[in-house]
Amino acid sequence: MQISSTVLLLSSLIGNDPTQSPLAARLESLVTAHKGKVAYSLKHLGTGETIFHNADEVMPTASLIKLAIMAEVYAQANEKKLKLDEMLTLTKDEMVQGSGILNDNFSPGAQFTLRNAVRLMIVYSDNTATNMVLEKTGIKPVNDRMAVLTMRETRINAKVFKGSTTSIDPERTKKYGLGSTTARETLRLLELLHKGELVSIDASKAMLEHLKKCDDMEKFPRFLPKGVTVAHKTGSVSNARTDGGILYFKEGPVALVVLTNENEDKSWTADNAGNKLCAEMAKSVVEHYQKASPKK
């Protein structure tokens, strides 16, 4: 049977090219072994090499969508609509369950800056801080900003754990939960950050510093050797694990996005299969480029 050039082109775009590189083959083997739906994208930000798999499939983000929220904060600050040093006051009504440190360590009435709320949202994935940030930016403006950046599937649907009362799109809330994206769109967002083109050079630098402090060590950073810095944001819900970020190492940097959904393993342990897939993919990327680098 003769395969048309169109089919070959389509296969290349979704990551199933029969002439794929050793790295693509390794990543595909990991995806094939995973019991769940996977989409990923990769770009070496120095050489421009890219690898995609289901990169245009719309997938749930879980807390990975907080990357887009952060971008909106810095964009509105750049437009003088918000002040990063504005003081926010924690209220009992804003406190929600899930990831973060505010609920267990702070009482209503605590005050901190909007900048620090963003820090809590990114570093500790704090859900309460996220809702406080969204109260300032609004939900729809995040999606509008992403659409302007040609990332129309990168959307947040509601405040965290307040979907029934704050959703701006109940249908998408039901389908994707907190937010949605594609591997290709999140990769583009990371590339803009790396180039200093997400809002501004200074804003991009500040956002990357937040991402470098992410405390989730169960995904990309887990199996990486010393000397690799990861600027990333992760997400976790029962049937989905996500991670997106930039791996900085001597042979890098490399932007990597891994989205999973409908996972068979719904456990809440470090060894969750979705967590380990993210970790193994990051490890494979670094090892590939380290081995490919000319030895001096």
- pLDDT one-digit tens code per residue, 270-283: 999 999 999 999 99
**Angle at alpha carbon of residue 129, lines to 100 and 136, rounded to 5°:** 165
Pick the CATH number of 62-169 from 3.40.50.2300, 3.40.710.10, 3.40.50.970, 3.40.50.720: 3.40.710.10
Residue 214 pLDDT more than 50?
yes
Alpha-carbon gap, residue 10 to 122, rounded angstroms: 35
Which residues are registered as beta bridge partners of 235? 242
The amino acid that residue 174 corresponds to is K
Residue 205 structure tokens: 């630098």
- b/e map 39-56, b = 16+ CB within 10 Å: bbbbbbbeeeeebbbbbe
Task: Name which of 37, 285, 3 is nearest 176 in CA terms.
Answer: 37
Query: How do beta strands 155-156 and 111-113 pair?
Result: unpaired
The amino acid that residue 95 corresponds to is M
Q: Does the CA dihedral 101-40-60-239 come out positive or negative? A: negative
Contacts of 231 (CB under 8 A, 6+ apart): 193, 208, 211, 212, 214, 245, 246, 248
- Average pLDDT over the chain reads 93
pLDDT at 295: 62
Q: What is the mean pLDDT of residues 89-112?
A: 92
Q: How confident is the model at residue 56 (pLDDT cuts 50, 70, 90)?
A: very high
Alpha-carbon gap, residue 296 to 293, rounded angstroms: 9
Q: Confirm if 257 and 183 have CB atoms less than 8 A apart.
A: yes
The amino acid that residue 277 corresponds to is L
Residue 173 pLDDT more than 70?
yes
Q: What is the mean pLDDT of residues 55-63?
A: 98
User: What is the domain partition of the chain in residue ranges?
Assistant: 1-57+182-291, 62-169
The fraction of the chain above a pLDDT of 90, given in percent, is 88
| Domains 1-57+182-291 and 62-169 alike in fold | yes
Q: Confirm if 186 and 67 have CB atoms less than 8 A apart.
A: yes
pLDDT at 292: 83
DSSP character string of 226-255: TT-EEEEEEEEETTEEEEEEEEESTT--EE
pLDDT at 97: 86
Contacts of 62 (CB under 8 A, 6+ apart): 177, 178, 179, 234, 235, 236, 237, 240, 241, 242
pLDDT tens-digit series, residues 226-264: 999 999 999 999 999 999 999 999 999 999 999 999 999
pTM score of the predicted model: 0.92
Is the domain covering 1-57+182-291 a CATH 3.30.360.10 domain?
no
Q: What is the mean pLDDT of residues 100-127?
A: 96
Q: How confident is the model at residue 17 (pLDDT cuts 50, 70, 90)?
A: low
Residue 19 pLDDT more than 80?
no
pLDDT at 9: 36
**Angle at alpha carbon of residue 291, lines to 290 and 296, rounded to 5°:** 80
Q: What is the mean pLDDT of residues 183-208?
A: 98
Residue 7 pLDDT more than 60?
no
Q: What is the mean pLDDT of residues 109-124?
A: 97
Task: Name which of 100, 135, 129 is nearest 112 in CA terms.
Answer: 129
**Angle at alpha carbon of residue 196, lines to 43 and 141, rounded to 5°:** 95
pLDDT at 296: 52
User: How many CA atoms within 13 Å lie on the side-chain side of 29?
Assistant: 9
Q: What is the mean pLDDT of residues 67-86?
A: 98
pLDDT at 71: 98
The amino acid that residue 106 corresponds to is F
Q: How confident is the model at residue 213 (pLDDT cuts 50, 70, 90)?
A: very high
The fraction of the chain above a pLDDT of 70, given in percent, is 93
